[in-house]
Amino acid sequence: MVTVDDTLCTRVRDAVRTLREAEFAVREAVAALDGSDVVALSGYWSTVRLVGDLARVDQVVAKRWVGQAKLVSERSAFSGEPLEPGLPATAAVFADGTVGADHVRVIERAMDAVARVPDLGPDVVVDAEAMLAAHATQLCPRGVERAATRLLAHLDPDGVAPLDPPGLEDEVSVSTSRRDGSLALAARIHGAGDAELIREVLDALSVPAGPDDSRPVGARRARRRCWNCSPRPRHPPGSPNPNQPPTSHRTRSPSRSPRNRSPRSRSPRMWGRCRRRGGRC
């Protein structure tokens, strides 16, 4: 029987827990900074800007930190009374290092969707957040997202409140970051009907070319997109073009070709015009 030394595994688990506890400490520090007058006295017009400069992170990351700090940290009301975190169950497991910032982000999105479901009592919302926090202690962020999707389908069977908030625009990003000039495409379509239509079109255009076509679906889609974007006719290679008229097989006689005609065989008027131009016509 092979014995496995669990020392390295324990070391990884302890390091991950320490990292998550440090992430929670950052959220607490950001929440304390947001609740003070340091932002106004320092000349910054928002906490996001100040946090971005202090931590040297992008504004997107700083905005995420500030948003999560309001959900997992205790705050104070204007009267000085302490307020519980917006996600108390998530804050508890985040503080002890059981879950990470990615778990918190998934639960945040899920609870925003739960809040948009009509006719839900406060007890149901609290139980939903506690259940997602419990799942986060056992699953990865992607697994928590799948659990949130099932929970939302149970609470909102009509699909009124999707995980993505309303008002998001469809986007297609194009980047050429490699030296060889290769192109990277990424698209996000939020409408369910539009997404299903695009999926059906892609599947219809990416069928195998024959029984010997062993290319994966992604390769067939990429090749088809390149063909559609090329300046060539929009029909597959080797197939007749329905928009092109039939070509006549009649050929012009060499003796009747304009290039083979001598200048004397042209009309007198044309020959006189050519002589006035110095023989160039």
Query: What's the chain's length in residues?
Result: 281
What is the model's pLDDT at position 229? Answer: 61
What is the model's pLDDT at position 271? Answer: 47
Cβ count near 149 (within 10 Å): 14
What is the model's pLDDT at position 78? Answer: 66
Largest CA distance in the chain: 109
Element (H, E) at 136: helix 122-136
- Mean pLDDT, each 10-residue run in order, the chain (281 residues): 77 95 95 88 90 93 93 78 88 95 94 88 92 95 93 82 58 66 71 69 75 78 64 53 53 52 52 53 51
